[in-house]
Chains A and B, each alone.
Chain A
Amino acid sequence: MNYDIIVVGAGHAGCEAAHISAFMGHKTLLLTSNIANLADMPCNPSIGGSAKGIIVREIDALGGLMGKVADRSHFQIKMLNNSKGPAVRSLRAQADKRIYPQVMRKYLDETPNLELRQGMVEDLIIENAKVCGVILDDGTKINSKAVILTTGTYLNANILIGSENTPSGPHGEKRSNNLSFKLKELGFNIKRLKTGTPQRIKASSIDFSKLKPELGDDENWTFSFDNGPLYDKNDQQKCYLVYTNAKTHQIIKDNLKKSAMYGGYATGVGPRYCPSIEDKIVRFADKERHQLFLEPESLYYDEWYLQGFSTSMPRDVQEEMVHSLDGLENAIISKYAYAIEYDAIDPMQINASLETKVITNLFTAGQINGTSGYEEAAGQGLIAGINASLKLENKEPLILKRSSAYIGVLIDDLVLKGITDPYRMLTSRAEFRLLLRHDNADIRLTPLAYEKGAIAEEKYTRLKDKLTNIARLKEVLKTNHLKITPETKKFLEDNNISVPAGNYSYDILLKRPEFNMKIVERFLDLSAFNEDVKNQVEIEYKYEGYIKNALKEKEKLDKMEEKKIPGDIDYNKIKNMASEARQKLSIIRPLTIAGASRISGVNPTDISILLIYLKKEYGKK
């Protein structure tokens, strides 16, 4: 059996990696230990969220599937931070855990060049530090030119409930016993990480009358740039808000020693942004209550997800804890909360292309690289798939800059800074978030994907049309003026808008705080332009100053990113460089001067010395 690319693991990273590899024309095999768990959502029943929703848009703009699948499988969607600035708006959908994998499966089945197969990978075929295929647990050898590992939490996984410690993948699935040992033998530094998931509750046992409902938006949204809304906004499923109380807190305090974390039964490092409820109670002892959310997992089975209540307490304590909550007095727990420990590699051992530095043609994506979250995984899977394909085509990899995508920020952080706990994307990680918006992901990324052959011609054509329309609308706004007549004056005054001192063009007026496109449309016919285009132009005018500053900073950084560091550089030969900087640079081997300057412990002096060395050894650019 021979393939171009084998993808190991069919989670969110694996599905994207396999789909794009096959789309780009490479014979691809997607291997999973259990086909029934393809595109599984083992934790929260939602796609998107702050910053993560923008990643989904980026995935869509780059030719990935997550946005399209989410659009076809959610039962509630809202735009987060809609009242805040345009830079932080982001979609979150409650995705149906049963439908999402079905839709994903359909997309994969329809992808030519892609084969899906069940099998547990326990070893890699390596020749001269180059990967040539995989070996399954039954000894079957499958050859390929490149391998993408997207093993999620399956490497050497243990599930922790109280003092119980069971070797197992998520929800009782078979784990991979040997692969992480093989990786260690090959020279990877293995890290032990931990994450957790809360209880699932039987809907029929919840008293919803005591809970506050949370609704979807009254406006239609889509993740994908390629399709319109596929749902009825008036037929969205509710979620509910729950609070912990004094009784809950007392139960947790009384039983603290029984939890896996506080009892000392766990060794992995858990994510900061996903604290267990016992962590919250201990660290924020003065808080009277904590917010929890009840979210349906699916419309096709009777199970709700209790967000915010993840714990590693034993089952009997969990019963007590859940029953102390309003509305959940008689709740039936269908699945107990658990913590899961798993192996990951040190992301400083991978390149920004997501190819490992240790083994040629071996790529990694998702939780194996130390991240957390479906969206973070999918974004990496997509990039790993594109770059494995490009590698086989002898082409330059697609490396997204920090200034052009959240996915770029994510990978840059991983490979240059490494991780201490599982990495989650946050808006504050993106210094250029004003440029990395929900609304412009296609403008930022679709041309790059087109250039690399990762998207279809028609998608690129749609983008070009949009850009043409944006330019046309700008021209219309620039060349038309609001004439101050008694009528227009009255309209403005009636709406508490200060009347301009003269006849200004609309592009100027839009910069005023109280003007917006809706008001412009009272005076000017803009029916030829769709909401997307109008929104884009309005944002550009309204926040021009901030956007200009960000662009200036971006330009500076981009220039530094152009200064490449040769791959064969020997840092030990550089005189005068501080030893900490030398060590870090030798391990991380950044691709550009800009990357080098972002490594902690490498200071400007070291960069100066590095520049001088490069000039000396590698001559004129």
Chain B
Amino acid sequence: MEDTICAIATSLGVGAISIIRISGPQAIEIVNSIFSRDIRAMASHTIKYGHIVSENEQIDEVLLMLMKAPKTYTKEDIIEINCHGGLNTTNKVLELLLKNGCRLAEPGEFTKRAYLNGRINLLEAEAVGELIKAKSDSKRKLSLNQLGGNLTKKIVNIRDMLLSLMANIEVNIDYPEYTDNLVITKNLLKNKLTPIEQELKSLVKGAKYGRIVNNGLKVAIVGKPNVGKSSILNHLLDEEKAIVTDIAGTTRDIIEGTISLNGIEVTLIDTAGIHETDDVVESLGVQKSKESISNADVVLLVLDGAKPIDEEDASLLNTVPKDKTIIFVNKNDSLIEQQIATDLPIVFGNTKELNGLDELKNKLIEYFDINNINKDLTYLSNARQTDLINKASTALRDGLKNLDDGIPVDMIESNLKSCFDYLGQIIGDTYDEAVIDRLFQDFCVGK
């Protein structure tokens, strides 16, 4: 158990907080590299507040719980990260951990380690055996179903090109006297690899789209009571779903509806207004609104353009997540002149004359680059696949870079092999004599 493993420990999409659990000898070192504060000297079984950061960008605001070996579930160092930023952000944190040296845990692996390290007893362990088997069977089926025909074909094609190249490099090595065979030179290899690298890059990019295609987008509509949130929802949905009145605080439950933006499913969530209230029912609604914000892919903050920005608006402007908010200034038919102090994208309009709503849709399309999502393709979608495609792409990029640095072709082949193997893991093909088979299939050599 030399690897450090990680996984999202809470069920996906349920609850406002997601917990990522990391276990293994490098747990502290890896998390330290993506956390805003130094945790190397942190005491065991304590909690620290801070941010998950990647290249100076804050990914999420988190609470970090450190439990040092051996008094932990697995008897290894364990860190649990409480993520607050919703599913997408949690996934981002997970990807970051994978990038920095963690391996995604297999089903039941934390429990397996708990047993192997002597933490739990025999009865429990036998149950783990069943669990591992059941879960991995269903996981295998799941991941096979998740990959569409087009994507599989793409990966198969890339692997086939790599295989040809590797077999050719190998035949040059193992049968150098056969000078009739094509010799893979540095330049030839570079020419062949460059388009493959492009293809992999597009797959990496596609992995991000994959989540959007699979899960759709969530838009949370927030704002003070009676600024027209429900009207916006209704007009976008073209149906009277939310009860629209002039009385502030009408919307007490979360009201949802789904529209299709250029083929992408967008779920709109109308929240209760966020404000201080003594009404018990209404305060529940306020609580839910806050959760919706953290779970949403984008927050639509609605302001009343007919009224000056008040304290409540200003506090909303401050609390909405800076990285995923669009402002809609409603009631622009009776707009008063004022400065709205924000860098966030702003759309003006009003729900009475249906003004500005198309512009809002376009903003969303632009924001998620929806027009560039190729819907014929099934994208890589889960963290495991994303991790593997990233690794495959990195391996090939390293190969190209080293080629420029004068590393010989037969060593670059090890980068091709890594790339080939990672791609193989995505489609579940890990036969290890592929290169040798191809060599004797493609080349006529031997005494």
Chain A residues within CB distance 8 Å of chain B: 43-44, 50-51, 80-81, 84-85, 87-88, 197-198, 214, 271-275, 280, 283-284, 287, 289-291, 293, 307-308, 310, 426-429, 434, 513-514, 543, 545-546, 549-550, 556, 559, 575-576, 604-605, 608-609, 611-612, 615-616, 620
The answer to the question of B165 belonging to the interface, with a C-beta cut-off of 8 Å to chain A, is no
How long is the Cα–Cα vector from A50 to B132 in the complex, in angstroms? 44
How long is the Cα–Cα vector from A611 to B106 in the complex, in angstroms? 14
- Do A612 and B407 contact each other (CB < 8 Å), given the known contacts A273-B440, A546-B414? no
Closest A-chain residue to B128, C-beta based?
Answer: A612
Q: Ordered nearest first, which 6 A-B pairs have the shortest CB separation? A: A513-B406, A85-B408, A50-B174, A284-B444, A272-B440, A576-B129
CB distance from A439 to the nearest CB of B (A): 15
CB distance from A269 to the nearest CB of B (A): 14
How long is the Cα–Cα vector from A473 to B112 in the complex, in angstroms? 48
Closest B-chain residue to A281, C-beta based?
Answer: B444
**Docked complex: B173-201 residues within 8 A CB-CB of A:** 173-180
* Stretch among B56-64, B114-122, B205-213 lining the A interface: B114-122
Report chain A residues within 8 Å CB of B129. 575-576, 608-609, 612
Report chain B residues within 8 Å CB of A84. 172-173, 408-410
* CB pairs A–B below 8 angstroms (25 shown): A43-B447, A80-B177, A81-B410, A84-B172, A84-B410, A197-B447, A198-B447, A287-B444, A289-B180, A290-B180, A290-B444, A291-B180, A308-B446, A308-B447, A310-B447, A426-B170, A426-B174, A427-B173, A429-B436, A514-B406, A543-B411, A605-B133, A609-B132, A612-B125, A620-B118
Interface string of B96-140 (1 = CB under 8 A from A): 000000000010110010011010001001101110110010000
- Find out whether the CB atom of B174 lies under 8 angstroms from the CB atom of A280: no
- Do A434 and B176 contact each other (CB < 8 Å), given the known contacts A274-B447, A427-B170, A612-B128? no
How long is the Cα–Cα vector from A85 to B133 in the complex, in angstroms? 44
The answer to the question of B12 belonging to the interface, with a C-beta cut-off of 8 Å to chain A, is no
| A293 partner, pick from B116, B125, B130, B177, beta carbons under 8 A | B177
- Find out whether the CB atom of B414 lies under 8 angstroms from the CB atom of A51: no
What's the interface size class on B, roughly? 35 or more
How long is the Cα–Cα vector from A85 to B413 in the complex, in angstroms? 11
Report chain B residues within 8 Å CB of A272. 440, 446
How long is the Cα–Cα vector from A280 to B444 in the complex, in angstroms? 6
Closest A-chain residue to B135, C-beta based?
Answer: A605
- Find out whether the CB atom of B170 lies under 8 angstroms from the CB atom of A85: no
The answer to the question of B344 belonging to the interface, with a C-beta cut-off of 8 Å to chain A, is no
**Docked complex: B397-414 residues within 8 A CB-CB of A:** 402, 405-411, 414
Report chain A residues within 8 Å CB of B180. 289-291
CB distance from B257 to the nearest CB of A (A): 43
Report chain B residues within 8 Å CB of A514. 406
Report chain A residues within 8 Å CB of B435. 428
- Do A609 and B125 contact each other (CB < 8 Å), given the known contacts A81-B176, A559-B2? no
Report chain B residues within 8 Å CB of A50. 173-176
How long is the Cα–Cα vector from A615 to B446 in the complex, in angstroms? 48
CB distance from A402 to the nearest CB of B (A): 12
How long is the Cα–Cα vector from A313 to B175 in the complex, in angstroms? 25
How long is the Cα–Cα vector from A426 to B172 in the complex, in angstroms? 12
| B133 partner, pick from A274, A280, A576, beta carbons under 8 A | A576
How long is the Cα–Cα vector from A549 to B412 in the complex, in angstroms? 13
Interface-central residue, A85, A559, A575, A608, by most chain B CB under 10 Å: A608
- Do A575 and B126 contact each other (CB < 8 Å), given the known contacts A287-B444, A513-B405? yes
Interface-central residue, A84, A284, A556, by most chain B CB under 10 Å: A84
The answer to the question of B445 belonging to the interface, with a C-beta cut-off of 8 Å to chain A, is yes
How long is the Cα–Cα vector from A411 to B154 in the complex, in angstroms? 37
Report chain B residues within 8 Å CB of A428. 166, 170, 173-174, 435-436, 439
Interface-central residue, A275, A428, A550, by most chain B CB under 10 Å: A428
- Find out whether the CB atom of A291 lies under 8 angstroms from the CB atom of B178: yes
Report chain B residues within 8 Å CB of A609. 129, 132-133
Report chain A residues within 8 Å CB of B132. 576, 605, 608-609
- Find out whether the CB atom of A275 lies under 8 angstroms from the CB atom of B173: no
CB distance from A581 to the nearest CB of B (A): 11
CB distance from B160 to the nearest CB of A (A): 17
Report chain B residues within 8 Å CB of A307. 447
Closest B-chain residue to A614, C-beta based?
Answer: B116
Closest A-chain residue to B175, C-beta based?
Answer: A50
How long is the Cα–Cα vector from A232 to B120 in the complex, in angstroms? 70
Report chain A residues within 8 Å CB of B175. 50
Report chain B residues within 8 Å CB of A545. 402
CB distance from B338 to the nearest CB of A (A): 57
How long is the Cα–Cα vector from A559 to B130 in the complex, in angstroms? 27
**Docked complex: B375-433 residues within 8 A CB-CB of A:** 402, 405-411, 414
How long is the Cα–Cα vector from A287 to B410 in the complex, in angstroms? 26
| B407 partner, pick from A43, A308, A546, beta carbons under 8 A | A546
CB distance from A91 to the nearest CB of B (A): 12
- Do A612 and B176 contact each other (CB < 8 Å), given the known contacts A84-B409, A543-B411? no
| B112 partner, pick from A197, A290, A608, beta carbons under 8 A | A608
Report chain B residues within 8 Å CB of A310. 447
| A556 partner, pick from B2, B402, B440, beta carbons under 8 A | B2
| B116 partner, pick from A198, A426, A556, A615, beta carbons under 8 A | A615
Report chain A residues within 8 Å CB of B173. 50, 81, 84, 88, 427-428
Report chain B residues within 8 Å CB of A427. 170, 173-174, 410
Closest A-chain residue to B180, C-beta based?
Answer: A291
CB distance from B169 to the nearest CB of A (A): 9
Report chain B residues within 8 Å CB of A43. 447
Report chain B residues within 8 Å CB of A87. 410-411
Report chain B residues within 8 Å CB of A274. 446-447
Other contacts beyond A291-B179, A608-B129: 14, CB < 8 A = A50-B174, A80-B176, A84-B408, A85-B410, A87-B410, A291-B180, A426-B436, A427-B174, A513-B405, A549-B414, A608-B108, A608-B132, A612-B116, A616-B122
- Find out whether the CB atom of B444 lies under 8 angstroms from the CB atom of A275: yes
Report chain B residues within 8 Å CB of A604. 106, 136
Report chain B residues within 8 Å CB of A550. 414
Report chain B residues within 8 Å CB of A44. 447
Report chain B residues within 8 Å CB of A85. 407-411
Interface-central residue, A43, A289, A559, A616, by most chain B CB under 10 Å: A616
CB distance from B218 to the nearest CB of A (A): 35
- Find out whether the CB atom of A612 lies under 8 angstroms from the CB atom of B115: yes
How long is the Cα–Cα vector from A44 to B115 in the complex, in angstroms? 56
How long is the Cα–Cα vector from A21 to B176 in the complex, in angstroms? 36
Report chain B residues within 8 Å CB of A308. 446-447
CB distance from B110 to the nearest CB of A (A): 12
Interface string of B316-341 (1 = CB under 8 A from A): 00000000000000000000000000
How long is the Cα–Cα vector from A556 to B3 in the complex, in angstroms? 9
CB distance from B103 to the nearest CB of A (A): 11
- Do A546 and B411 contact each other (CB < 8 Å), given the known contacts A513-B406, A609-B133? yes
Report chain B residues within 8 Å CB of A198. 447
CB distance from B68 to the nearest CB of A (A): 21
Closest B-chain residue to A511, C-beta based?
Answer: B405
How long is the Cα–Cα vector from A283 to B409 in the complex, in angstroms? 28
- Find out whether the CB atom of B411 lies under 8 angstroms from the CB atom of A434: yes
Closest B-chain residue to A578, C-beta based?
Answer: B133
CB distance from A550 to the nearest CB of B (A): 8
- Find out whether the CB atom of A51 lies under 8 angstroms from the CB atom of B444: no
CB distance from B326 to the nearest CB of A (A): 45
Closest B-chain residue to A212, C-beta based?
Answer: B179
Report chain B residues within 8 Å CB of A605. 132-133, 136
Interface string of B290-307 (1 = CB under 8 A from A): 000000000000000000
How long is the Cα–Cα vector from A497 to B43 in the complex, in angstroms? 53
Report chain A residues within 8 Å CB of B115. 612, 615
How long is the Cα–Cα vector from A513 to B408 in the complex, in angstroms? 10
Report chain A residues within 8 Å CB of B136. 604-605
How long is the Cα–Cα vector from A287 to B435 in the complex, in angstroms? 22
How long is the Cα–Cα vector from A85 to B177 in the complex, in angstroms? 17
- Find out whether the CB atom of A612 lies under 8 angstroms from the CB atom of B112: yes
